[in-house]
Amino acid sequence: MTMRRVYLDNNATTPVAPEVYEAMSPYLREDFGNASSIHWFGQRAKGAIEDAREQVSKLLNARANEVAFTSGGTESDNTALFGIVEAARGESKHVVTTAIEHHAVLHAAQALERRGVKVSYVRVGPSGIVDPGDVERAIRPETVLISVMYANNELGTIQPLEEIGRIARKRDIYFHTDAVQAAGKIPIDVEKIAVDLLSMSAHKLNGPKGVGALYVRRGTALKPLLYGGSHERDRRPGTENVPGIVGLGKACEIARTHLADSAARIGALRDRLEEGILQTIPGTTVVGDRASRTPNTANIAFERVDGEAFVIALDLRGIACSTGAACSSGAIDPSHVLTAVGRSPAEARSSIRFSLGKFTSAEDIEYALEVIPAVVQQLRAIAARVSAEAPDSRFSAASKHA
C-alpha cells in the first residue's frame, strides 16, 4: 500500500489545475508560434497572449494594457523596485518597505542600498500587520516608492493596503504591492487599494512555474530590467512564454469565478486544522493576527519542538508542510518574518506553516489531526531526554536524531 500524501505547503507552490494544463497543452504542440511573427502561427500565439492578458486584468480590476507578463513573482518584484527607482529623477532617492517582505523585495531593496539608495524597513508588531501610520512616518521628501506586500507568505496576514494607498496618493509617491500570496485567495481591486504596481505569480494559484505578471498603472514611469526588444510595451523584452502565459490566464479566470466558494471551503478546513491542534496539543499558539488573514494559512508555534525535525517527521508520515519561507528551508537562520514579529530565534524555529489549497480535502485534514499530536509528543519526549542529559542543547540534538 502506498502512503497517503497530504500536501499542506501551498504557499511554497501549488499543483497545476487540470483545466490549466488542458488550456496550455496546444501551445506546447501545434500552436507553437512566436507572437511577434506576422503569419498565422504567430497570430495564434499573439491572440492567446491577449486573451490571457484580459483574464489576468479581470482578476485585478485593471485594464488589459496595464498587465505585463514576466517570469514570475521574483522578476515582477525586482522590476517594480529597480524600475521605479531608476526612472525617478533626483540625486538622492528613498524607498519605504517593511521588515516582513518576501526576499524578492527585501533582497532587491538591499541591492538598491548598495547602489546608494536609502531604504526604510518599517517594523511590524506581533500581529504581523504593518501600521499605516508607521509607513507614513517613514516617508521623506525624497521618497520615490512605497512597497508593502498584500498578504504575508509565512503568516497569511493581510496588510492595510487601502490606507497605505491613500497615504501614497496624497504624497504623490508610487505604491507597489507584492500580491503573490493574495491573488486567487482574496478579492483584489487595484482601484480600491490605489496601487500603481502589483506583482503576481502563476504557480501560487494553480498555474505553472516560471511565469507571472506585473500590473503597471497607466502613466507610471518605469525603466525595464532587461533590454532586447519591444515586447510587453517595452516593459519586458524576450519571446513570450506563450504556454505559461496561457496557463496564468486560465488560472486567474478559474480563481476569479470560484474565489468566494473556494475561500469559504478552504477557510473552514484551515480553521478545523488550527482548532484541532490548539485544543489537543498543549503549548501551541497561532502566530500573527487570526482575523485579517488569507483563508488558507495557519502558522503555529509548538513549544519545545524543533521545527526542522517536525517537518521531517511529518514528511515520513506523508504530510508536507514547512518551517516558513521555502527559500530559507535548510538554512540555519530562523525566519526573518517570525523574528520581525517579535518571536525569539528559538520560538521562530518551533513554528510551522500549514498552507492549504484548492485540492486539500476534509480527509487530508483529519489525517493530519491524527498524525500531528503523536509526532509532537514524540519530539517533545526526545527533547526532554536530551535536555536532561545536556541542558544547553535543547533543540539541536532533536534534529540530529531525525
Ligand X SMILES: *Cc1c(COP(=O)(O)O)cnc(C)c1O
Active-site annotation, residues: 327
- Cβ pair 222, 216 in contact under 8 A: yes
Classify residue 166 by burial, with Cβ atoms within 10 Å: 0-12, 13-18, 19+.
Answer: middle
How far the first Cα of the chain sits from its last, in Å, is: 24
User: Which stretch, 72-80, 81-89, 310-318, 360-368, contacts ligand X (CB under 6 A)?
Assistant: 72-80
Cβ nearer to ligand X, comparing 44 with 203: 203
- Least Å from the CB of residue 324 to ligand X: 11
- Least Å from the CB of residue 99 to ligand X: 14
- Least Å from the CB of residue 28 to ligand X: 20
User: Which stretch, 59-67, 70-78, 161-169, 266-274, contacts ligand X (CB under 6 A)?
Assistant: 70-78
Q: Which amino acid is at 96?
A: V
Residue span 172-201 as binding mask against ligand X, x where in contact by CB under 6 A, dash where not: ------x-xx-------------------x
- Least Å from the CB of residue 245 to ligand X: 14
Beta bridge partners of 120: 96
Number of residues that bind ligand X (CB under 6 A): 15
Cβ nearer to ligand X, comparing 211 with 300: 211
- Rg of the chain over all Cα atoms, to the nearest angstrom: 22
- Residue located via cell numbers 477557510: 267
Residue nearest to ligand X (CB): 73
User: Which stretch, 71-79, 157-165, 224-232, 295-303, contacts ligand X (CB under 6 A)?
Assistant: 71-79
- Cβ pair 326, 14 in contact under 8 A: no
- Least Å from the CB of residue 209 to ligand X: 7
Residue span 90-129 as binding mask against ligand X, x where in contact by CB under 6 A, dash where not: ------------x-x-------------------------
Give exposure, 54-81, as e/b (b: 16+ Cβ within 10 Å): ebbbbbbebeeebbbbbbbbbbbbbbbb
Cβ nearer to ligand X, comparing 136 with 178: 178
336 binds ligand X (CB under 6 A): no
Beta strand 284-286 with 212-216: parallel, antiparallel or unpaired? Answer: unpaired
- Residue located via cell numbers 524555529: 349
- Cβ pair 401, 313 in contact under 8 A: no
Closest to 96 measured CA to CA, from 161, 142, 150: 142
- Least Å from the CB of residue 175 to ligand X: 16
Residues from 212 through 251 that contact ligand X (CB under 6 A): 212
Cell (9 digits) for 284: 501551541
How far, in Å, CA of 103 to CA of 298, rounded?
20
By CB under 6 A, name the binding residues for ligand X: 72-74, 77, 102, 104, 149, 153, 178, 180-181, 201, 203-204, 212
